[in-house]
A and B are shown apart, each in its own frame.
Chain A
């Protein structure tokens, strides 16, 4: 069975500091990987995704994630965070050959001034 683990439920970080949000998955088949962001009182929206090709993917607002097959990880990073990055971040896995989408439990990123 497939699963997604986000080890950190909350991550506080000061503005302009770097941050890494961790995501590990378990799957017996190849997967598509996603990071979604949920701002307060809103639905989720896609931040970035890995389908194939280059293992490093970037978003338009400075986040990046690297697919590491050997470690089954897809950690999200940003070199310098802003107050506006305060949100909940969800890692998701879409196992190929299925129609399922599995979300992690989410990580609340709180950026402090």
Chain B
């Protein structure tokens, strides 16, 4: 158990809908990362937050947005969902924002868009 929690574990929805994925980092970690893992694209970095502020952006679509709240939990919002958004979404956390920090991954949320 990494100490990172993600809810829900599974999510099934229809195209055009909007969903919110939630992540609670390990106690003491200030940095949160979001990743998308799919069979055809592998593990893609989406976005990073550190202590409430956006620190780095990866291949995140405009339909997707995220935020980190004062209690350090984070939410990833996916809107106007398409079939291709079906994937496993991971949240990870680390103590600091720098790239030498180990990241601790949550168990993931499996999103299925029908």
Contacts and interface: CB of A to CB of B under 8 A. Distances in A.
Contact of A94 (B2, B90, B99, B106): B99
Contact of A46 (B4, B45, B102): B102
B58 A94 contact: no
Interface residues of A, number: 23
B27 to A, nearest CB: 17
A43 B107 contact: yes
B83 interface: no
Contact of B103 (A46, A95, A98, A104): A46
Contacts of B99: 32, 94-96, 98-101
B108 A43 contact: yes
Contacts of B86: none
B56 A100 contact: yes
Interface residues of B, number: 26
B42 A43 contact: no
Contact of B45 (A36, A42, A95, A100): A100
Interface in A83-113: 90, 94-96, 98-106
Given A32-B100, A51-B100, A96-B99, A43 B45 contact: no
Contacts of A90: 43
Interface string B33-52: 10100000011110010100
24 contacts: A43-B2, A43-B90, A43-B92, A43-B106, A43-B108, A44-B43, A44-B103, A45-B2, A45-B104, A46-B104, A49-B100, A95-B99, A96-B100, A98-B56, A99-B55, A101-B45, A101-B48, A101-B103, A102-B45, A103-B35, A103-B42, A103-B44, A104-B42, A105-B42
Interface of A: 32, 34, 36, 42-46, 49, 51, 90, 94-96, 98-106
